[in-house]
Amino acid sequence: MNCPCCSGKAYEDCCRPYHTGEKNAPTAEALMRSRFSAFAIPNGDYLMETTFPSKRKYHNRKDLQEWGEINIWTKLEIVDKPNANKVEFKAFYTDEDGAQQIHHELSAFKTVQNRWFYVSGIFLE
């Protein structure tokens, strides 16, 4: 299966090793991609685990899992990487009413003990 993150690689050679914990995502972009794939799969546990610990209280596993399940995740586009800790992206998906949606976000990431975490995001038009 092609990786949902649109890298052009097989899932096994792309985001899967991050989802299984076999490897840690080496960059903010790799983590971002693996989180998009985790919505597509979906894998709510991975989405929680890769959220910065102090920010987890603003999210919950069940909502993340459901958000992944109810939408069809069609495409990820990396728009910009303004610095090593930030990724701007567009996530394309079809919502439960069959409408095409684009989630455009500038996300911030941080490392703790060589592991990347998602901290927060600003939604863009």
Q: Which of 13, 15, 32, 82 lies at the binding interface for Zn ion (CB under 5 A)? A: 15
Minimum CB distance to Zn ion, residue 85 (Å) = 20
Nearer to Zn ion, 37 or 71 (CB): 37
Q: Residues near 69 by Cβ (< 8 Å), separated by ≥ 6?
A: 42
Nearer to Zn ion, 38 or 64 (CB): 38
Contact flags string 34-63 toward Zn ion, x per CB under 5 A: ---x--------------------------
Residue 37 backbone phi and psi in degrees, to 5: -60, -35
Q: Which two tokens stand for residue 2?
A: 């092609």
Q: Does 28 bind Zn ion (CB under 5 A)?
A: no
List residues bridging with 87 in a β-sheet. 107
